Structure 1
């Protein structure tokens, strides 16, 4: 086979590629019980991961979409557990309403306190976030320990997030942390199982900001 001539790239505009991708997702996703706006989040998660199983595993608190849109329109802040989320999120749609996206995992005071207490930086960064934010959106895609700490703080009445996007990936504590989140009566977006990650957390957050843009 002549590899120089066998492949012909698809020569369409980026927005057309996204439209084609979403049409393919719709045709392959199958039956579901998501609401219209929940499915918009699911679409973007599947688009980011090419994983239909992950899409079907998503769980939504009944007020998750409404709470997330309201938080963005009210200029509330977004806390992210790792820099990868900061790099991927469409910050302009959040900042135009007065909000911002914040990551504390590499702050010197966080690293120093984590070392002093012999614990993870993810845990300390969540503690720092609740001291700085009243409400806000917590986007956790990498560190189950961050999500478990946030859940503890919510249960103790120390944290009152507007929305928790809890989609950490992994084998140790990731499935369990999401199970615990799904038991809380706070607005959340999460999923069942080990799958997740920063990329799909970004996708979910971007979907919420797009819904806010259209509100």
Structure 2
């Protein structure tokens, strides 16, 4: 199946540029160890950053892409650690599946609780999402805050939290690599991670757009 046909480009010129860009990524990346659906995610991440190191740094738990696609097809919520992820996602594509996005990092109650407990806003934002019943069965999308990912891992281990998929891609130098390593040890919840320090909201957005494209292609094939 040619997933390049699933595009946000509205003009022939835009579609040609996108098609050519993906062709260059495929040619320069060369052989890889990813399954076909996983490569759709990785190539879009490379396309978004022009960084070929994500061919290798990106890892998937078994069935992670399928889990993400199915979550989108049923309209699961996306809970992000920062607003940038929500802003970066294509509203028409989200609306197509009835998917809502949520982030609570700047909420007054989150800030107050973080100060009261001497924790981080990111931790309290994930706890608020859990209180609102958004995490179970949802897609957790973390590109900035390692403490958010550490809290989600803790909730999965201690509170029986069961997201549909965790996209763990926090960038940074303090606990970023460690948080992703801890996530990758979990074998009961699907996940996608970038090993090491690299990551960021742009990568999370690219990964979700790839999942949306795959979900659209699957939906079109059924109809």
TM beyond 0.5: yes
1:159 maps onto 2:161 in alignment: yes
User: What is the 5 A alignment of 1:113-124?
Assistant: 113-124=113-124
Where do 5+ consecutive residues of structure 2 fail to align? Answer: 1-11, 219-223
The 8 Å contact of residues 32 and 55 in structure 2, kept in 1 or not, is answered as no
**2:179 maps to what in 1?**
177
Counterpart for residue 3 of structure 1: none
- Partner of residue 143, structure 1: 145
2:203 matches 1:200: yes
| 4+ residue segments displaced more than 4 Å | none
- Taking only aligned residues, the RMSD between alpha carbons, in angstroms, comes to 1.2
Taking structure 2 as the reference length, what is the TM-score of the superposition?
0.88
Give the TM-score normalised by structure 1.
Answer: 0.91
Cα distance, 1:91 vs structure 2: 2.9
The corresponding residue for 1:103 is 103
| CA distance in 2: counterparts of 1:38 and 1:148, whole angstroms | 24
Gaps of 5+ in 1: 1-11
1:160-186 per-position Cα deviation (integer Å, ceiling 9, x unaligned): 100000011111111111111111011
Higher mean displacement: 38-47 or 156-165? 156-165
Instruction: Describe the SS at the equivalent of 2:167.
Output: strand
Confirm or deny: 8 A CA contact 1:29 1:52 kept in the other structure: yes
Encode CA deviations 1:54-93: one digit per residue, 9 max, x unaligned.
2321000111111101111111100010011011111322
Match of 1:8 in 2: none
